[in-house]
Amino acid sequence: MNDLKDLLELALSDAPGPDERADPAGDLARGRRLLHRRRLTALAGVTAAVLCGVLVPLTLGGSGPSAANHPAAAASSHAQPSHAQPSRPRSGTATPDKQSAQIKLVAWVGTQPPGYRVSWMPKGWVVQGSTPYALVMAPPSAADKNPDVYIRKLVVMLQSRDATAPPAEWASQPVNGRPGKFDVQGDTQILTFQIAGGQWVVVQAPVSLGWDRAELAKFASGVQVLVAAQQGRG
Amino acid sequence: MPRSSRDEEFSAFVRAKRTGLVRSACLLTAGDTHLAEDLVQTALARLYVAWPKVRRARTESAYVWRIIVNAHIDEVRRPGRRRERHVPELPELPAPPEAFPDGLGGGEVRAALAALPPGMRAAVVLRHWLDLSVEETAELLNCSEGTVKSQTAKAAARLRVLLSPAVVERTHP
């Protein structure tokens, strides 16, 4: 047998096949639900934008664009945690409310993991596992104690030997002046960045940490990869 | 576009294409029919949302396939799926034979497909199962045409090795 097409046909020959009756009702219902959700989300976004446009100036004394110079506005912008936006200029604009739920980065304490030097870790979190393949951190109360499961955990690893560069459509997020790409997939944020020597390092963080791209990049900027670190496969 | 018109056109597309989509997605998932069904459901729901635009451009199939391929790659990259893959080296394999052996079973072929990286598997399925051109495959996979050519060539060589009698006997005694 020489032909790949024959081989693929063979792969399906004794596989359980799909239901031959393609009833569109289920797909139609799912499509309508998704469309409805998208429209609601868009409507909520527009409503929030309109409310912000109306309510924020009123809250700040109705001074409109000049409110940034108002003492109350200035005070509110400085009330944010000092670590929240280290790389962004503070221009007097308020930082998002979600920062209040953010888990702070604190200096790494304790023995460094094999393969990596890490400067920062989330406050109150612990190292759940560290091997030359991956460093895994989680809150002490994490339900899943298996360090091989990365869901809702902070993970540092070298990019798989079989993976290519991160997709071009991911957002650019340089780390230490080198190329980096950022994406959010479900409840996981992924920052893949290049280090000296051209290797890519992957940092996965749960959205529940409350970090934005800049905070994730700050964590990543403190990661050094040592020779003991090894790439996985797949 | 009125909803009834969207619904009618979308339903006709689903009736005509769904079975083939799931079947082809089964190759991407190396025989995992449940995951294939999930991927197709996801793609069709998103197609419904984008229907007026996609229909105007007459790119329904390409749109669905782009979603299926990307959703599959996202799925296998999900953090929880990374376990079991951390091995320092692949086992040493013999040189690829000239052709695929005769008398193989579907299970053996699916296991060999599962051993390919997802991007490589997608290149094979799009090129050799859906008969897309190198250019179309490259566009769908968001990579260069050279990458498509090298990925399909490497995939064929790896499949020949993985399906050689010695390896098949070792892994499917």
Q: Is residue B103 less than 8 Å (CB to CB) from chain A?
A: no
Residue with the bigger pLDDT between A207 and B167: it is A207
Residue A171 sits in a domain whose CATH number is 2.60.120
| A61/A151 same-domain check | no
pLDDT at B4 over 80: no
What DSSP state is assigned to residue A20? Answer: S
In 3D space, the residue among A162, A158, A163, A168 whose CA is nearest the CA of residue A204 turns out to be A158
What tens digit of pLDDT does each residue of B70-86 get?
888 887 776 555 544 55
Give me the residues paired with residue A223 across strands: A118
The percentage of residues in chain A with a pLDDT greater than 90, rounded to a whole number, is 11
In a domain, A99, yes or no: no
The pLDDT of residue B166: 54
pLDDT band at B148 (very low <50, low <70, confident <90, very high): very high
Whether residue B2 lies within 8 A of chain A, CB to CB, comes out as: no
- Containing A137, the helix (H) or strand (E) segment is strand A135-138
**pLDDT bucket at B39, cuts 50 / 70 / 90:** very high
Out of A44, A79, A114, a domain closes at A79
A100 domain residue, yes or no: no
pLDDT for the residue numbered B25? 93
Cα B43 to Cα B69: distance, rounded to the nearest angstrom = 10
Q: Taking CB atoms and an 8 Å cutoff, what residues of chain A touch B124?
A: 4, 8
Which of B163, B140, B84 lies closest to A2, judged by CA?
B163
Q: Judge whether A148 lies within some domain.
A: yes
| Chain A interface mutation, best of B3, B8, B18, highest count of A Cβ atoms under 10 Å | B18
Residue A214 pLDDT > 80, yes or no? Answer: yes
Residue A115 · residue A225 · CB < 8 Å: yes
Domains, chain B, ranges and CATH?
3-80 (no CATH), 103-171 (1.10.10.10)
Q: Given an 8 Å threshold on Cβ–Cβ distance, is A31 in contact with B48?
A: yes
Q: Tell me the residues of chain A between 97 and 156 that have a Cβ less than 8 Å away from chain B.
A: 131, 133-134, 148-151, 153, 155
**Which two tokens mark B126?**
């799009």
Residue A187 is part of which domain span? Answer: 105-225
Q: Which residue has the higher pLDDT, B98 or B145?
A: B145
CA atoms of B35 and B164, how far apart (whole Å): 28
Q: Is the pLDDT of residue B140 over 50?
A: yes
How far is A10 from chain B, CA to nearest CA, in Å?
5
pLDDT at A118: 87
pLDDT attached to residue A1: 47
Comparing A82 with A44, which gets the higher pLDDT?
A44
- Per-residue pLDDT of A107-140, as tens digits, reads 887 778 888 888 888 988 888 888 888 888 998 8
A135-138 sheet: strands from edge to edge: A126-130, A135-138, A154-158, A200-206, A188-194, A180-185, A171-172
The separation between CA A184 and the C-alpha centre of its own chain, rounded to angstroms, equals 5
The CA distance from B113 to B29, in Å, is: 8
> Which chain B residues contact residue A27 at CB under 8 A?
10, 14, 18, 41, 44-45, 48
pLDDT in tens, A33-42: 998 888 888 7
Please give the share of chain B, as a percent, with pLDDT higher than 90: 47
Q: Are residues A122 and A34 in the same domain?
A: no
A3-20: average pLDDT? 76
Confidence category of residue A69, pLDDT binned at 50, 70, 90: very low
- Based on the fold, state whether residues A73 and A29 are members of the same structural domain: yes
In a domain, residue A31? The reply is yes
Domain count, chain A: 2
Q: Do B79 and A28 touch (CB under 8 A)?
A: no
Q: Which of A19, A149, A230 sits opposite B80 (nearest CB)?
A: A149
Q: Which residues pair with A120 in a beta bridge?
A: A107
DSSP letter (8 states) at residue A76: H
Q: Which of A188, A131, A134, A136 is nearest to A159 (CA)?
A: A134
Does the pLDDT value for residue A20 go beyond 70? no
